Chain A
Amino acid sequence: MSDLKKIRDEFISKLKGKLDLAELNQIKSDLFGKNGLVSSQFKKIGTIDISKRKKFASDLNIIKDELHDLINLKIKEIEKANINEKLEKEKIDVTLPERSFVKGKIHPVSQTIDEISSIFSEIGFSVEEGPDVENEYNNFTALNTPDNHPARDMHDTFYLDEKKERLLRTHTSPVQIRTMLKDKPPFKIIAPGRTYRSDSDQTHSPMFHQVEGLHIDKNINMGHLKGCLNYFIKEFFEVKKIKMRFRPSHFPFTEPSAEVDIGYEIKDGKIIIGEGDQWLEILGCGMVHPNVLKNVKVDPTKFQGYAFGIGIDRLAMLKYGINDLRAFFDCDYRWLNHFGFDPLDVPTNYRGLSR
């Protein structure tokens, strides 16, 4: 028996036994290490007689491959067994609760303002803002509501001085005045923001939110006003059709003035906007009074247009089924969590306003 065969047989039988990873590595090193049995046989190749050299080399390679593969196979088997054993031990109760995650929310009024802005953005309105503290002129006089006008009674105003010159704005309409004084026509703006009246009960809060709209250009008439509001209400309530009614009313800063009702019905205790034969008043509007335009140095013989004012909180209440206005400002954690919106839900036109 040649040396080669001897080596082979010896190790094949060795490898048949139960071996651990260390023993296998030892065998591997005994055979294929620097001075391993197989490695040293390779070194001998040069010394072998030419006639036998070819066969020797061939036999040696066969044995080498055979042993090598066998060892690797054994190693892999053991490794696999080890992993399986480990996996068996590492099993964990995945029904245990996950790490806590605290979710923030956006207030429904903020969400509603974003919805409103998104709708009006589509038809070319831009957002303007003004200060919460106003002077008497911007809040009343410039809006054709001179001192001692009975319409002032409808605005229970918070004053900041005895002379009643500084006040908390009672509506967002002074933003109209500021915008028109600052720029040149045409104007196409909405002005959302905080407004204040000294009134507090179930349906009134001393602070609430309004969005003012203003569109002044040449030849803007009441038909445009109707179209704009019809579009807005439809988009806002995300319905295909809306029943809308314009009723004559009076605001000192618009003429002709209208109050707008939308049709609704109550189905299973839920309000459905756009259907039914009940009317719900949701906003006031009209053609900007020529006196207002004169006050802001816009020529009423050249420019005309409409303005409207909508209660944002009320819109939010209607759309999201909120009953009590005061809860908006009560900061009850449970309420905020329930009615708040995920900050990722940014109202957009292409994704839809709300989920």
Chain B
Amino acid sequence: MKITFDWLKDHLKTNLKEKNLLEQLTNIGLEVESVESFSSDDQLFKVAKIIKTEKHPNADRLKVCDVNIGEKELKKVVCGATNANEGLITIYAPPGAIIPKTNTKLEIAKIRGVTSYGMLCSESELNLSDESDGITELSKKYEKNIGKSYFSKSKSNLIDLSITPNRPDCLGVKGIARDLAASGFGRLIVSKEKKIKFKTKQTIKVKINKEKGQGCSAFGSCVIKNVKNTESPQWLKDKLISVGQKPISAIVDITNYVMLDINRPLHAYDADKIEKGIIVRNSKSGEEFTALDNKIYKLEKGMCVISDNKGVLGLGGIIGGTRSGTEFDTKNILLESAYFDPRSIRNTAKKLNLDTDAKFRFERGIDPLSIETGLKKAASLIQEICGGEVSKIDIQKTESYKTKIINFDVNSFENIVGFKISEKEIQRILIDLGFIIKKEKNSLKLIVPSWRPDISQQIDIIEELVRISGYDKIKTIDPIKDRSKSTLTQTQRLFHFLQRAIASKGYLETITWSFTDQSYNDHFREAGKEIKIVNPISSELGVLRNSIFSNLIMYMGKNLDRGFKDLSIFEIGPIFTGSNPGEQKTVVCGLSAGKKSRLSWIDKERNIDLFDAKRDVVQTLSEAGYNSDHFFIDSKTPNYYHPGKSGRIFLDHSKDKVAAYFGEIHPNILKKIDIKTENLIGFEIFLENLKLSRKTLKDQKLKFSVSDFQKSERDFAFVVNKDVEAQELISVISNVNPNLISNIKVFDVYEGENIPDNQKSIAISITIQSSEKTLNDKDLEKINNSIIEAVENKTGAKIRS
């Protein structure tokens, strides 16, 4: 909502300064978004007349104009506009003037060898309109103004307010003035309604169809005959220009002025173009009309239209049509002032993707009792400016406005807001805001002003009171440092632990969007459901991610393109399994590219591999409190992993839920998305699949037992079939005697010479220790034999001699 202090003063008597105004507006909830200042420079722009034009000697498209700016001598100005013709009255900017559109200072300049003293301006350069085709053309009436400033007086600053959607009343200057007056910033001027003589009857019949979903509940109108539509008088033009509106013609300007002044949208029809009467009805599917924005709209069923016998004239409360629009030659007009249902307006405008000043106001709620006031105000102005005879006002209604009444408990204010104001002050504020008060025994009976659709219950009154009293009166009550419930749940703690545990292993945490590119997502989706966003920001962000890999791999690619070779990144966040709330899982997903170590004087080069990722995952899980001795690992993984170089981890042998996957990303995917790196390794840990331990760390710390008896290390080498997994051997060995076998370590895996083709040798070092005694040679011999026997029997292995 754009206003000026000058316009406000039409409704507000105040001695305060603009600086105070800006503060006060913000303090009462009418936030000042920006202030555009018009300097006295505006006075520099003068009405001028082109006396003579000559072709520029060095440029075909330029002219050298001799311009009369009201001084003795003519000014030479170079101009490129095609309409810069002899005799044209236009606007001249002298050197030193600042062009509003570009904010640049004009200087005397040589243009292709000819000196130009100033510039002739287009409307767009002066921010008068978007018209940039040619220089401004002023009517003959301006002849007498040559040499005078175009802007009649110094404009006051343009104040742009951000009005919250609950305050339609402040979409008119008067409403803003009322709020300011209530807050003590001046006094509201009660304007007297101008008396007009209603000579005739309203001759155009108006009917509101009674049908389901009718969006119009009241339609007021009057006919004004024999008007002479002209340009608006200067005061009206200035007023509109001062808030950034472009003057069009007196009739249109007057309806705009009334809308901006008292928030009462109106519409003027050329009465002669209406076939018989006005019918307000629901549109039929497929009906079309050309709107004033020169676009053809095809309507759906059930939109509120103003029509005549021939068809749609306009969309009620949104936009009029060209067929019945007013022109300069319009003689008779029908002036409309109606009430449209906000929901209906919003539905229609949304479907047609239309936004107009009227729509913006009606969808927020117009004062239903302003129909007549608006008609009178506009009609009297039209009569004053354009002449004509005004008919009596006709108001068709399907519903009458019901007064809203609220019983207000005065004590409720302090209860919510925390400070107190006197009942007297409460009454004063409410009266200033337009409430009518009846004092009852324990409360105030309030009649809500008709222009406040946002007020319907006690809390709304409290808001009004605290807003006008000032939020600065609210006390600051310091919080109490007391905690009755733990801040994080066990799951949340696990989330934070995993996050930092992974980061501590050299991974940079990223946060990527929850949506992703469908083609990337498909690589990692498997049989998961594709969840499309109906209105994505771009087609590359069209689906919710089924895996974090899609984003990580894309950003990994970008970083590799930046020239970084060895990178580890991770994200902890949601993946989606369905489009219902809750159909999501929390995953820690990591991705590493390149080499673990690269050309160095001290270390050998080595590509990153799956055992790096496995270490990070196993280590992280074990740091989080899961015993890695119990983990069960196999090689069944989703198809986006390399089938032979990936694994999954279960927390125990029950293989209940997959705790994590790790491995190389499938080479086909790398090829398809064209990522070039030595190796690409990923992992995923599924937070929801990690059982939360009932034992706290505190419980676990209670038990401490170690053995100080001598331990022995024995090495074994077993030859087994290639498909036998190390995990199986370790499991068999540890079960031989869990009390004595304290550590098992694979120290070599060998295939090749001296080993049959389909077999391999696994060398294992076993630590044997008793918690009861020092084991003698005989004891050790016994357990050695048991180990060999068990491994040979259960895995088909042979001990290598």
Contact = CB atoms under 8 A, between A and B. Distances in A.
Interface of A: 96-97, 99-107, 109-110, 114, 117, 120-127, 129-135, 138, 148-151, 153-154, 158-162, 164, 166, 168, 188, 194, 196, 198-200, 206-207, 219, 221-224, 226-228, 230-231, 245-250, 255-259, 287, 289-290, 304, 328-334, 336-337, 340, 343-344, 346
A148 B562 CA distance: 47
Given A132-B584, A207-B513, A250-B165, A161 B364 contact: no
Given A110-B511, A126-B486, A250-B29, 12 more contacts: A99-B602, A103-B506, A106-B500, A107-B510, A132-B514, A148-B343, A160-B531, A160-B544, A162-B534, A227-B477, A255-B462, A331-B558
A223 B506 contact: no
B467 to A, nearest CB: 4
Interface string B559-585: 100101011110001101001111110
A166 to B, nearest CB: 5
Contacts of A160: 531-534, 544, 579
13 contacts: A102-B506, A122-B483, A123-B483, A124-B480, A158-B533, A196-B514, A206-B541, A226-B476, A250-B167, A255-B459, A287-B459, A331-B510, A334-B562
Contacts of A245: 471-472
A304 B342 CA distance: 31
A343 B511 contact: no
A171 to B, nearest CB: 15
B582 A131 contact: yes
Contact of A223 (B31, B342, B477, B603): B477
B467 A109 contact: no
Given A126-B486, A127-B487, A331-B558, A247 B29 contact: yes
Nearest to B462: A256
Contacts of B552: 331
A103 B600 CA distance: 18
B460 interface: yes
B514 A168 contact: yes
A227 B476 CA distance: 5
A114 B492 contact: no
Contacts, number: 260
Nearest to B598: A100
Interface stretch (B104-112, B188-196, B297-305, B410-418): B410-418
Interface of B: 26-29, 31, 164-167, 342-343, 346-347, 363-364, 415-419, 457, 459-460, 462-463, 466-467, 471-472, 474-489, 492, 496, 499-515, 531-537, 541, 544, 552, 555, 558-559, 562, 564, 566-569, 573-574, 576, 579-584, 597, 600-603
Nearest to A154: B165
A123 B480 CA distance: 6
Q: Which one of B363, B460, B552, B580 has the greatest number of beta carbons of chain A within 10 Å?
A: B580
B463 A125 contact: no
B166 A250 contact: yes
B584 A222 contact: no
A250 B416 CA distance: 16
Contact of B504 (A228, A289, A344): A344
Contacts of A103: 506
Contacts of A344: 500, 504
A235 to B, nearest CB: 10
Given A228-B479, A332-B559, A336-B510, A135 B503 contact: no
Contacts of B486: 126
Contact of B487 (A126, A329, A343): A126
A104 B457 CA distance: 55
A60 B562 CA distance: 85
A188 B480 CA distance: 12
Contacts of A337: 508
B488 A246 contact: no
A226 B475 contact: yes
B31 A207 contact: no
B507 A104 contact: yes
Q: Which 6 pairs between the two chains have the least Cβ-Cβ distance?
A: A248-B29, A223-B418, A250-B164, A331-B555, A102-B506, A221-B418
A256 B468 CA distance: 12
B29 A96 contact: no
Nearest to A207: B513
B29 A231 contact: no
Contacts of B533: 158-160, 168
Given A138-B581, A194-B573, A247-B29, A106 B482 contact: no
B463 A256 contact: yes
A194 to B, nearest CB: 6
Nearest to A300: B459
Contacts of B559: 331-333
B508 A104 contact: yes
A8 B681 CA distance: 76
A148 B347 contact: yes
Given A131-B581, A133-B581, A198-B535, A106 B480 contact: no
B8 to A, nearest CB: 19
Contacts of B418: 221-224
A219 B412 CA distance: 11
Contacts of B555: 330-331
Nearest to B500: A343
Q: Which one of A104, A121, A132 has the greatest number of beta carbons of chain B within 10 Å?
A: A104
Contacts of B165: 149-151, 153-154, 250
B568 A133 contact: no
B511 A219 contact: no
A107 to B, nearest CB: 4
Contacts of A110: 499, 509, 511
Nearest to A111: B509
Contacts of A124: 479-485
B510 A223 contact: no
A135 B27 CA distance: 36
Nearest to B419: A223
B562 to A, nearest CB: 7
Contact of A219 (B415, B474, B496, B574): B415
A223 B474 contact: yes
Contact of A249 (B29, B511, B535, B564): B29
A207 B506 CA distance: 26
Contacts of A200: 537
A290 B567 CA distance: 52
A110 B500 CA distance: 10
B477 A224 contact: yes
B562 A333 contact: yes
A340 B508 contact: yes
Nearest to B507: A104
A176 B452 CA distance: 29
A330 to B, nearest CB: 8
B479 A246 contact: no
A165 to B, nearest CB: 10
Contacts of B535: 158-159, 198
B511 A107 contact: yes
Nearest to B509: A107
B324 to A, nearest CB: 29
B683 to A, nearest CB: 14
Nearest to B468: A248
A160 B485 CA distance: 36
A104 B511 contact: no
A161 B484 contact: no
Contact of B471 (A134, A219, A258, A290): A258
Nearest to A197: B537
A335 to B, nearest CB: 10
B209 to A, nearest CB: 22
A133 B508 contact: no
A106 B27 CA distance: 40
B537 A126 contact: no
A121 B347 CA distance: 44
A161 B510 CA distance: 29
Contacts of B603: 99-100
B506 A104 contact: yes
A290 B478 contact: no
Contact of B364 (A99, A132, A150): A150
B27 A247 contact: yes
